[in-house]
Chain A
Amino acid sequence: MWTWFHKLASPPHFYRIAGLVTPWFAWPALVLILVGLYGGLVLAPMDYQQGEGFRIFYVHVPSAIMSMFIYSTMAIAAGIGLIWRMKLAHAVAAASAPIGAWFTVCALATGSLWGKPMWGTWWVWDARLTSELILLFLYLGFIALRSSIEDPQRADRAAAVLALVGVINLPIIHYSVVWWNSLHQGSTMFNPGAMSIEMKWPALAMLFGFMLYFGAVLFVRLRAEVIRRERSATWLREELAR
């Protein structure tokens, strides 16, 4: 098991395997996202309170869940990198950050576009919205900190500490609608009975599609990271000659 693990984590093997598995994530992701779009925009019944406007749900909620899911992935990878000094784990954290930041932008912007017609305002400084905005700043801080430190190993470690400290924000985002009075509605996705299955399944398709999509984009970014970090030239020379 451990020898297998070490072999997998060795740069040449990882580079090759990441290339092989990427399409297995990318194509199912595309299918699920298309199914989710069709289900959300066409098949799902409209909401009795919010009418057709509620359909923003199908891009907003999966984006918001992804923004937190990717942050967790990034923080766990950063933690593994710090504790076991695994370069590949730091590479996972580095490759996740831009994808997570973009999903956070999507969650904030689609939320704003949903808030305007429903609440009458683009933005309020309430707990849910503010903590999600802080999540975006954590991602940007992580990216900026990495690029500001010349030595890659020091950059890995410093950014990993920042990622781990930022984990405190995740439960705050999740429970913000419970702990504080908020304009933002509570969770419908993980609250059984809050939503009928005809309404819910397109969101689940979209969410799983986004997760596979994240996997595919992560592998492509990881291949770039592996090459950037590679010092021993033999396998790289062979790989680039192909």
Chain B
Amino acid sequence: MNLAEFLHMGGYAAFLWPAYGLVLTVLVYNVWSARRAHQEARRAAARRLQMEETRS
């Protein structure tokens, strides 16, 4: 099987590759958004602690 044949997927390429592409994009996006949420929570907590410090 050569590469062109593989990419052609027996005529189903137009359906198969978007399906795989979507799932892989979602997998990557979930990791990115979870890490961003974590960093954001850390930054927000740091700001909160700093505000408490300046008040006291």
Contacts and interface: CB of A to CB of B under 8 A. Distances in A.
Interface of A: 33, 37, 41-42, 46, 51-53, 55-56, 59-60, 63, 98-99, 102-103, 105-106, 109-110, 113-114, 116-117, 213, 216-217, 220-221, 223-225, 227-228, 230, 233, 236-237, 240
Contacts of B46: 240
Interface in B6-55: 6, 9-12, 15-16, 18-20, 22-23, 26-27, 29-31, 33-35, 37-38, 40-42, 44-46, 49, 52
Nearest to A33: B27
A218 B15 CA distance: 30
A40 to B, nearest CB: 9
A109 to B, nearest CB: 6
18 contacts: A41-B20, A42-B6, A52-B11, A53-B9, A53-B10, A53-B11, A56-B15, A59-B20, A63-B23, A102-B30, A103-B26, A105-B26, A223-B38, A224-B34, A227-B41, A227-B44, A227-B45, A228-B44
A217 B30 contact: yes
If over half of A's interface residues share one DSSP class (helix, strand or loop), that class is named, otherwise mixed; here it is helix
Interface of B: 6, 9-12, 15-16, 18-20, 22-23, 26-27, 29-31, 33-35, 37-38, 40-42, 44-46, 49, 52
Contact of B45 (A59, A106, A230): A230
If over half of B's interface residues share one DSSP class (helix, strand or loop), that class is named, otherwise mixed; here it is helix
A99 B22 CA distance: 14
Given A53-B16, A240-B45, A217 B26 contact: no
Contact of A110 (B22, B41, B49): B22
Contacts of A236: 45, 49
B37 A221 contact: yes
